[in-house]
Structure 1
Amino acid sequence: MSLLWREVLPARPGVRGPKQTVSVDTVVRTGVAVADRDGYEKVSIRTVAAELGLRPMSLYTYVPSKEALIVLMVDAVAAEDAPISPELPVRERMSAIAGQVRTEILRHPWLLEVPPWRHVLGPGRQRRYERQLAAIDGIGLSDIDMDRVIAVLSEFATGNARMAVAAARSAHEMTDAQWWEVHGPLLQQVMPAEQFPISSRVGSAAGELHQAPGDPHGEFDFGLNRLLDGIESMIEVP
């Protein structure tokens, strides 16, 4: 916790450690770069130290463990969000909340592998929450409803981003056309249209449109608009 809030906590007088050749911020940025490039499982004290040209043991003078490094990395990427203009219409402000959460995960897919419950609150996450609340403050929601609106928008965006990331990874392994070429004949045999008439009809229509099992980007727009319709029914939109 003290590392997260290192910029605002007063320095402890009389406490000196070994002279540091890089900063904690540099260590965190390097960890993010490793995770973005190679994936969550590749982040380790040893890997980050090697990227910085340091010995693994020396990195412990900056962060005490991989777990602490991950906490700092999560908070650092949360600070990337741009402010949401209060001049925007309410619906666009709420849309921006969901859009920023989704964009963050698409930029940093390793976030999906970090346990989400009870993240340690650092300045990046806390300031983002403050900005999100400011975007919907004064529109007619109670404090509890404001918190829930942010949670619902964030959770929807996270779930959709998970599918978008999976689709992107799958495309690198096998195209949808290749997948159907391999598995299509068997599926036609075990799922005849006469036994599954509705799913065959709807699935064919969706597949024809998307040329893929799904369309995470279109589903995000569709789902978000339905969510915003429901939220707006609770408030008087200026």
Structure 2
Amino acid sequence: METKLKTIPRVRVGPLCLFNIDEVFIWLVNHFYTSTSSIELENGFSFPITPLTIHTILGIPLGGFPIQTGPTTETFDFIRQEINMETPSIEYPFSLVSENMEEDKFCRVFLLIVLSVFIALNSQGVASSKFDSALVNIEAVAKHDWCLFTISYLVYSINKARNENNNGKHIFPRGCKLALVISYFEFLLAPGFSIPNSLPRLPLWTSNLSNSYMALDALHGSSNLFGRLPDSGGASKLPKPGHAVS
């Protein structure tokens, strides 16, 4: 397995981790404007989530070819043949990983796991086909605009959940929860915490740090309302729109 793991950096997908951030994510979704892809709070705090924001947080490829979210029949069939299942659950790709897998297939399955769990999580509990077109040619994976895809899928997921909920259903919005939550945390002033300036930002946000910020920012007497900590007045590690990341 160590040999196969060495192939992962070739597709330039950085380390991703998982914390229980559902409550603060839902709170932010309720203050997220899909028309501008921005967080706008009652206290005047406002910050757009741009492809550069996503790149700064996750370290995934920025710019390049847009991902065709409507795969052709041939593309859909190819990916499903690779994993031997037409509608795979999110858990299913984990069972495919083995030491004797061909390298491109291993990278493809690994990406399917990362994208299904962290970037394009959906409410059906199955792997989305919206990124299939970018997984056919493994050599070209890093040439696609994964940051733009991440934002587009988040906006799509939030709009879909809102429409379904307006029709009497109860759908939990999906998409990249980490990007939305960390972009908000980066603006908060938390006493006693000093976070390094390194990029990407995601590895710095450990479970302990994230849980501390959630606890400090939660309003007294509520487990699902936030906004207690002051913001830094724009002094964030995240770049402003139009600024480059070195």
Smaller-chain TM-score bracket: under 0.3
- Structure number, greater radius of gyration: 1
Select the structure with the greater relative contact order (CA < 8 A; seq sep ≥ 6): 2
- Of Structure 1 and Structure 2, which has the larger fraction of its residues in helix? 1
